[in-house]
Amino acid sequence: MQEKQETNAVYLDPERTAEERAEDLAGRLTLEEKIGQLLHFSPAVPRLGIPGYVWQNECLHGVARAGIATVFPQAIGMAASFDRDLVYRVASVIALEARAKHHEFSRRGDRGMNKGLTFWTPNINIFRDPRWGRGQETYGEDPYLTSRLGVAFIRGLQGDRPKYLKAAACAKHYAVHSGPEPLRHRFNAVVSKKDLRETYLPAFCAAVREGKVEAVMGAYNRVNGDPACASKSLLVDILRKEWGFAGHVVSDCGAIHDIHKHHRVTASPAESAALAVNNGCDLNCGWTYSALKEAVKEGLVSEETITSAVVRVLTTRFKLGMFDPPSIVPLAGTPYEVNDAEDHRRLALEAAVKSIVLLKNENSLLPLDRSKIRTIAVIGPNADNKRVLLGNYHGTPSRYVTALAGIREAAGPGINVIYAEGCELNVTWMSFWGRKATAGFTEAVAAAERADAIVLCLGISPELEGEEGDAPASEAGGDRLRLDLPGMQEELLKAVAAVGKPVILVLFNGSPVTVNWAQENIPAIIEAWYPGEEGGTALAGVLFGDYNPAGRLPVTFVKSLDQLPPFTDYSMKGRTYRYMEEEPLYPFGYGLSYTTFAYSDLTVSHRKLATTDQKELGVSVTVTNTGKRAGEEVVQLYLSAPGAGVTVPKWELKGFERVALQPGEAKRVEFSLSRRQLASIDQEGDCLLEPGGYRIYVGGRQPDDRSRQLAGTEVLTVEVTIEGEAIKLPY
């Protein structure tokens, strides 16, 4: 029974701040009750009117694991859009569906897992190695792109109301986390101060300072010897003291248990729990914090420290309106019908279209002319595969549109669409007969011979890549050991191409694949990622020219594993476009269009700046659609400091804008570079603004030779000089 409280109790007063109410409520709890609130299955405290709550929920690209919901493209696909506004709008819709589902469930007494409003999203780790199975959950390999899209997602999910959150976002996995999956519970990620500050932390800093993210999740691994979920350096010195983080920290699931069981930093659950709480981890996904009572008895942690953690987690629940009458909580009355609404489906289609990257289009094979085609053959193991629409951490669509279904619908009554699977996704040998699994090739070739154009849908699937334990066909606990097309897909590709008909290769995947033979021999190649519930509609629209593709790769496609450092090496040397020295297959930032764009009149606000100047550097350029089709262009700004006194990337992304242009239309695109953006990180992790020459590149791609070769375009460049003495800037 709920005990009688004075009517003016602070925690019952909606006019007081969330922090004040949380402090008052925490002060009324016993030690055992406080400890219970620090478990991700937080029990009810009936005497104080605290309902039970399960903290764990996911919404990586739609409300996940809670029934029917709109499923947007996987995060890596949304990153390919290079569109902050799109990501913001997607997250805003996700928050609405989350509210609709949460309140409907709560009214019916269902407060189980994946029914709450605290979402452990977004994943803003850096996709530093294409073998990592969870790279699909990220926004790619670049710290700046990841920062901008991460902040956009957080703002969309949390909303902009001063008192209540739409939903609570969580930036994960903090920090220096990107595989290998099978080693994550015991792995020690060794990273230099430079790489830590230059590559692995910027997105988290932006999430805290700009996005005002409500939660941060600690990673499983150690970082330079310290468990990430109990690291004073990461959680106290950097996250709270330096960046001013005021929300709560949650452990990854089972990560506190790992501290003694696998990392062997401590000797018991009580020691692990105390170490984590003392160093700023508030909420335990798992049960190890149940040992906190013993830890208090042993003098390993004080009740005062536990109370501080409880205040932080309760503050989040107050911000979500969980202790207030629904009548005063915005969005508490969100009708269930908002979930899976038609306008949300249209946004999923828009996101899928914007995520598609055109990698090759020899002799303008695409778009296909409906008036010249009578038969299309749709071939491949991913052509009618619902699973590849979803990626991981997904909800359940009410309708799936596979590639085959989308093409059939878009082709119309005048075009015959024939289908052949060709081969299984990942089967090389037929074990019973002991021979290669080519049984479906005959049907595929027969279909190809009867077609005017062939759409070959290959790639991988979430069964082959994902989180440890969540990708049953993975050869490496969720990761990939090879980057080429699995099974007999390459042989199927060659067999179909040998027919001599026009072939469009469509790749479905969450991470790079090496399609070197296809790049040399197939006239058109499309990257579709895991495109969400409307993936087939989006693909068909691009194939027939109803949509003009404009996506860009958020991650480098290497030519082979030989171009990569060892997976367990967390140094950035030789990794990603910023430090890679060898020529890739497809570069970061690359993508083609059905129209052409021209750049002109690149100007800067100052050709010379002093290191002591507080003003920002303005950069502007004119972009013109010089083709015959309307289209969108992703304008990219890169910066290099060739004379820097410290090791720096050869160049790195510092600005991007996606602009829509009609044929002949021109727009002026403006950027602003802060002093912090011009600065470099030295070996000690300090941020230095050095004197010397800086080069700015602006165009529709990276300023590298491979992009020039593939895209056939040029970028504009301008040089700026910074004068004075080198100065240290705040991070």
- Structure-token pair, residue 504: 């469009």
Q: Which of 534, 555, 576 is the last residue of a domain?
A: 555
The pTM of this model reads 0.97
Together in a domain, 314 and 384: no
* Secondary structure class of 410 (helix, strand, coil): helix
* Secondary structure class of 729 (helix, strand, coil): strand
In a domain, residue 213? The reply is: yes
In a domain, residue 585? The reply is: no
Q: What is the pLDDT of residue 428?
A: 86
* 490: amino acid identity, one letter: E
Together in a domain, 605 and 535: no
Together in a domain, 203 and 104: yes
Closest by Cα among 656, 657, 667 to 625: 667
Number of domains in the chain: 3
Q: What is the pLDDT of residue 8?
A: 81
Is the model's pLDDT at 433 over the cut of 70? no
pLDDT tens, position by position, 471-523: 999 999 999 999 999 999 999 999 999 999 999 999 999 999 999 999 999 99
Together in a domain, 371 and 332: no
Is the model's pLDDT at 565 over the cut of 60? yes
CATH number of the domain that 107 lies in? 3.20.20.300
Please, how many CA atoms are within 13 Å of residue 583, restricted to the half-sphere of its CB?
Answer: 9
Dihedral pair phi/psi, residue 486, rounded to 5°: -75, 170
Is the model's pLDDT at 4 over the cut of 90? no
Confidence of residue 435 (pLDDT cuts 50, 70, 90): confident
Residue 151 belongs to domain spanning: 10-30+43-248+298-338
In a domain, residue 591? The reply is: no
Q: What is the pLDDT of residue 390?
A: 98
Q: Which of 307, 338, 369 is the last residue of a domain?
A: 338
Q: What is the pLDDT of residue 437?
A: 85
Q: What is the pLDDT of residue 434?
A: 66
pLDDT tens, position by position, 181-199: 999 999 999 999 999 999 9
Q: What is the pLDDT of residue 1?
A: 40
Q: What is the pLDDT of residue 6?
A: 62
* Secondary structure class of 419 (helix, strand, coil): strand
Distance between CA atoms of 562 and 570, rounded to whole angstroms?
17
Together in a domain, 639 and 677: yes
Q: What percent of the chain has pLDDT over 90?
A: 96
Is the model's pLDDT at 592 over the cut of 80? yes
DSSP secondary structure letter of residue 484: B
Distance between CA atoms of 589 and 707, rounded to whole angstroms?
9
Distance between CA atoms of 438 and 461, rounded to whole angstroms?
20
Q: Looking at the annotation, which residues are catalytic?
A: 252, 465
Together in a domain, 179 and 121: yes
CATH number of the domain that 424 lies in? 3.40.50.1700
In a domain, residue 465? The reply is: yes
Q: What is the pLDDT of residue 634?
A: 98
Q: Which of 523, 555, 587 is the last residue of a domain?
A: 555
Confidence of residue 701 (pLDDT cuts 50, 70, 90): very high
pLDDT tens, position by position, 528-545: 999 999 999 999 999 999
Together in a domain, 78 and 192: yes
Q: What is the pLDDT of residue 5?
A: 55
Together in a domain, 491 and 393: yes
Distance between CA atoms of 678 and 643, rounded to whole angstroms?
13
In a domain, residue 628? The reply is: yes
DSSP secondary structure letter of residue 10: G
Together in a domain, 313 and 360: no
Q: What percent of the chain has pLDDT over 70?
A: 98
In a domain, residue 580? The reply is: no
In a domain, residue 561? The reply is: no
Asked if residues 648 and 688 have their Cβ atoms less than 8 Å apart, the reply is: no
CATH number of the domain that 630 lies in? 2.60.40.10
Together in a domain, 530 and 659: no
Together in a domain, 201 and 143: yes
- Structure-token pair, residue 560: 């082979």
Together in a domain, 326 and 364: no
The mean pLDDT of the chain is: 97
In a domain, residue 132? The reply is: yes
